[in-house]
Structure 1
Amino acid sequence: MSSEQAGADRRLGRLRAALGTSPPLWWAMLYFFSLLCGYYVLRPVRDAMGASSDAAAVFPRGLIALGERFGIEVGDFMLQLLFTGTFIAMVLLQPLYGALVSRFPRRVFLPAVYLVFIACLLGFWWAFDSGIAGRGATFFIWVAVFNLFAVTVFWSFMADVFDNAHARQVYGYIGAGGTIGALVGPAITRFLVEPVGVANLLLVSAGFLCVCLLCIMKLRPWALARERAQGGAGHDGRAMGGSVLAGLRLVWQRPLLRALAMLMFFGVGVGTMLYNEQAAIVRAAFETAEQRTAFYSTLDWAINGLTIAIQLLLTRFLLQRYGIAPLLLLPALAIVLGFAALAASPLPMLVALVQIVTRASEFSLAKPARETLYTRVDREERYKAKAVIDTAVYRGGDLTFVWVHKALAAFGSSMVFLAGLGIAVGMAIGAWRVVRAERTLPEDPAVEAEARARAA
């Protein structure tokens, strides 16, 4: 037997052992698979709209007419307007999400979030089928909101189900399950977009979200059992209570959360700079929405293929052996080097390559590392503060850097990527601050709470 075959057998043996000893792992993997598969059915459609050169196919007629009155060609600010609209929607929805988390128990608000998303998809199916004007911009904004809130809720729920030690063992597998879904989703879009049309793809995505609802119900007993073991607030499934805006206060007060917010802000910055340059390339290279959708689905395949290889070969090993430091610092270093290369030679193929490395390292390394941290904080930080970082801070970074890109684009791609190099350095500093702050966290909050109770 070759060493490669022996290594593959060992990895499969570890996965079988993990599945055998952890029943919730099955449902967690199916949950994340279905969630990302449903999202990636939609993502190429959204990206194709953002790269469209036809403003009338994206924006409502009233907005186009308003721009013409002031001598502004709306199509020249396609992504800037879409990202601004996304940020406004996120700011408006964040207090609503905070109220939902504060006032309703988990068994109510988790299914409610997904039921709302399913209802929205059915509404968009009707809008696309009817050809309603302005549906493109509304759909672009909604998909961005859906991605952030749905994935944030997923990882918050996983932190309820698994403790820190268990999370280090299984988060790599859960992430791999999601990555398989992220590979299947673009394939579904690529093969079905021509025969069934864009509108019916939305029904496929809604079906995957129904599977997510089933998984939430199946995982609920383990989440409640862990809450009872911790003896924390909400251990009986009750609402957390507290202020709707408590998440903002927590991010301001806690060093770890501030560092995570900094990492998120600059991490979004590097992604936004790449995304905008890539959109300009796609807009020039492809004429139709179907061609652009096919290109983006191919790019997603490459990103997710690299992601799952890293997840299966490296993530679990690095996380268990060395903790979060290499999972945060190695991607930051790779992105700094990538932007340095782009500043020197901004070739289209190099832009695509750096995009693949940036997103794959985020999904396979940085994301699992950040999520394990939330198993070591209390429930209010896990749901409220995390939602602020993953939504308001994330989209605030999008809004900031999409306009920064617009200002720099007039000076050429080299200037864009030179500025991006500075943003990447800011991301690396944020990653280092998270690693330092993480060292002050207790390994197991339940043990820490028990020790405090005994001391009292």
Structure 2
Amino acid sequence: MTTTTTRSHRLRDAAVASVVAVLPHEISPLISAASTFFFILSAYFVVLPLRDEGAISLGLSTLPGLFAGSLLLTLVAAPVASLAFSLPSIPKPRALVFIHRFFSLSLLVFFVLWFASTPGHSPSISQSSEDASNKPPGWGNHSWFYILVRISLFLWVSLLNLIAISSTWARVIDVMDNESGSRLFGFIGAGATLGQLFGSLFAATMAWLGPFLLLFSSLLMELAALSSKGICTDDTHSSMELSSTMTTMMYIMVK
């Protein structure tokens, strides 16, 4: 079993080294970073059509207000998230996992709320689903619970996209220096691009799943949380570098 795992790791490392100039100790954090961005962007684009569908059901006239609300929420949440991520009492690797897992759980909550607020599933809606379907989209055709859930999901998905991506980039920048970043950021960006492609294709192909896309998006964010654990420095390599540096300094001092 160990031999098979080692062989698979060697094949993985060789495949990565064939497409990007990477040092051996950089391969593991590089793959973790690219995978994390892949899962984040996949999760975002999987849930994006459902978010837009819920917003359109409130009427096209509400879209400018929703986008303005997303902007205001971003302006407020961005500095708060940056402050929380930089707290010295919480290790950054753990904080990053917490952020991704928090959004994963929040998508599960929205899955429950979506069904609870949908006509035919919630007793708080006075109109039947047939009556609502015969009327043009608008706030007046829905209960306050339905409206609140759709608006909240619209704003929350926008926040997920901002916080998850920015916090992950902050962690990547901590791990990689300018030299390694110039070599490896393109590979990480490719992971994000593939995530957008996969998420868009999956959402288009599996649109019939409806709100169940929230469950798949939640799973992707959990995978992002697991992948982000590998975005870390190689302690062995760092110790070797430090030892080499100290040896060189001692040699110079003796001479």
Scaled by the length of structure 1, what TM-score is found? 0.39
Q: Which amino acid aligns with 1:153?
A: S
Query: Does 2:91 align with 1:105?
Result: yes
SS at match of 1:29: helix
Q: Which amino acid aligns with 1:31?
A: T
Aligned to 2:107: 121
Q: Which amino acid aligns with 1:38?
A: A
Sort the Cα spacing of 1:225 and 1:206 in 2 relative to 1 into closer, same or farther, 3 A.
farther
Query: What does 1:60-99 align with in structure 2 at a 5 Å threshold?
Result: 75=59, 77-99=61-83
* Structure 1 consecutive aligned stretches of length 4 or more whose deviation exceeds 2 Å: 11-14, 16-22, 44-50, 87-96, 101-105, 220-226
Task: Name the CA distance, whole Å, in 1 between partners of 2:166 and 2:22.
Answer: 24
- Report the number of matched residues: 195
Contact 2:20 2:184 in 1 (8 A): no
Sort the Cα spacing of 1:91 and 1:223 in 2 relative to 1 into closer, same or farther, 3 A.
farther
Shift of 1:139: 0.9
Contact 1:19 1:25 in 2 (8 A): no
Contact 2:33 2:230 in 1 (8 A): no
Shift of 1:88: 3.3
SS at match of 2:146: coil
Query: Does 2:5 align with 1:18?
Result: no
Contact 1:37 1:182 in 2 (8 A): yes
Aligned to 1:37: 42
SS at match of 1:15: coil
Shift of 1:149: 0.9
Contact 1:160 1:223 in 2 (8 A): no
Q: 1:205 aligns with which of 209, 217, 220?
A: 217
- Higher alpha-carbon Rg: 2
Contact 1:161 1:222 in 2 (8 A): no
Q: Which amino acid aligns with 1:214?
A: L
Deviations 1:381-415 (A, max 9, x none): xxxxxxxxxxxxxxxxxxxxxxxxxxxxxxxxxxx
Shift of 1:106: 0.8
SS at match of 1:45: helix
Contact 2:47 2:213 in 1 (8 A): yes
Contact 1:82 1:141 in 2 (8 A): yes
Q: 2:157 aligns with which of 139, 143, 147?
A: 143
SS at match of 2:232: helix
Scaled by the length of structure 2, what TM-score is found? 0.67
Sort the Cα spacing of 1:158 and 1:151 in 2 relative to 1 into closer, same or farther, 3 A.
same
Task: Name the CA distance, whole Å, in 2 between partners of 1:168 and 1:40.
Answer: 27
Task: Name the CA distance, whole Å, in 1 between partners of 2:228 and 2:84.
Answer: 17
Aligned to 1:303: none
Task: Name the CA distance, whole Å, in 2 between partners of 1:205 and 1:225.
Answer: 36
Shift of 1:160: 1.2
SS at match of 1:218: coil
Sort the Cα spacing of 1:221 and 1:168 in 2 relative to 1 into closer, same or farther, 3 A.
closer
Aligned to 1:171: 185
Shift of 1:20: 5.5
Shift of 1:208: 1.1
Aligned to 2:7: none
Query: Does 2:128 align with 1:133?
Result: no
Aligned to 2:11: none
Unpaired runs of at least 5, structure 1: 1-10, 56-74, 231-456
Contact 2:33 2:188 in 1 (8 A): yes
Task: Name the CA distance, whole Å, in 2 between partners of 1:164 and 1:16.
Answer: 16
Deviations 1:100-127 (A, max 9, x none): 1343331332122112211210111101
Query: Does 2:84 align with 1:46?
Result: no
Contact 1:32 1:177 in 2 (8 A): yes
Shift of 1:34: 1.1
Aligned to 1:181: 195
Task: Name the CA distance, whole Å, in 1 between partners of 2:47 and 2:114.
Answer: 13
Contact 1:36 1:178 in 2 (8 A): yes
RMSD in angstroms over aligned alpha carbons? 2.9
Query: What does 1:46-445 align with in structure 2 at a 5 Å threshold?
Result: 46-50=51-55, 52=56, 54-55=57-58, 75=59, 77-103=61-87, 104-130=90-116, 131=118, 132-134=145-147, 135-194=149-208, 196-197=209-210, 199-222=211-234
Task: Name the CA distance, whole Å, in 1 between partners of 2:231 and 2:79.
Answer: 27
Contact 2:66 2:155 in 1 (8 A): yes
Bigger relative contact order, structure 1 or 2, given CA contacts below 8 A and separation 6+?
A: 2
SS at match of 1:18: coil
Contact 2:30 2:188 in 1 (8 A): yes
